[in-house]
Amino acid sequence: MLSSFGAPLNVAVVGSNGGIGQALHSALATAPNVAHAFALSRAAGDGPEDVYLDIEDEASIAAAARKLAERVQAIDLVIVATGILHDGADMQPEKALRTLDPASMERAFRVNATGPALVAKHFLPLLPRDHKAAFAALSARVASISDNGLGGWYAYRASKAALNMLIRNMSIELARRHPMALCVGLHPGTVDTRLSAPFQRGVSGEKLFTPARSAGHLLDVLDRLGPADSGGVFAWDGQRIPE
């Protein structure tokens, strides 16, 4: 796993309490070439590699980065596995423009775009400069502007599209200081998690992934990508998603 990164690896999963985040952390924590697998979330436990981080609170993001910097010399891989599409009756994906709610849209941008960007702000300086490293954030195929033929889901589509632009911007700056590192977005597919649960009707069994299967695909994709791919968004099968 992640053999192109070298060993031993120090990795951090932000949003490790979510379905995909848990699966990613579990896979990385048991990989033989991973020395430290930090689990960062609001629900952080009391384990030696559990660290509190609230994606909507920059102070907690900065504090988490400082804690990791005190523990290890560098972080080889940072994966942001957070995201929000719905939250009970207060937040649902829009079917039409008339249902657009400014508070829901603002929260979607805080969680899906601003939060990952702030993680990058504080964690990209921790990446090593002498070998392959990566910063990755979960994006979505529905964030593709050119591939949008259905409409709807205004806040989610727009916030994830904003994330993709941030990833592109950050990749340019990252290349100046960490030329062997990459910054990418990852589309995990349709995964059987709380986020997708209300929208799984009509999804065939072979296209509905378990979190573990999705995590395995995503880590394989990261293993195959190189600095030349930095700034792009890639699906679970390695295909680049159109902008």
Domain of residue 180, CATH code: 3.40.50.720
| Rounded distance between C-alpha atoms, residue 71 and residue 201, angstroms | 45
Quote the domain boundaries for residue 219.
Answer: 3-235
Examine residue 80 and state whether it is found in any structural domain, yes or no. yes
Return mean pLDDT, the chain: 93
Angle 114-23-226 from CA coordinates, rounded to 5°: 65
Examine residue 191 and state whether it is found in any structural domain, yes or no. yes
pTM of structure: 0.94
DSSP 159-213: HHHHHHHHHHHHHHHHHHH-TTEEEEEEE--EESSTTTGGG-TT--GGGEE-HHH
Q: What is the pLDDT of residues 99-146, one digit of tens each?
A: 999 999 999 999 999 999 999 999 999 999 999 999 999 999 999 999
Examine residue 30 and state whether it is found in any structural domain, yes or no. yes
The predicted pLDDT at position 202 comes to 61
Structural domains of the chain, count? 1
The predicted pLDDT at position 41 comes to 97
Confidence of residue 87 (pLDDT cuts 50, 70, 90): confident
Examine residue 8 and state whether it is found in any structural domain, yes or no. yes
Confidence of residue 172 (pLDDT cuts 50, 70, 90): very high
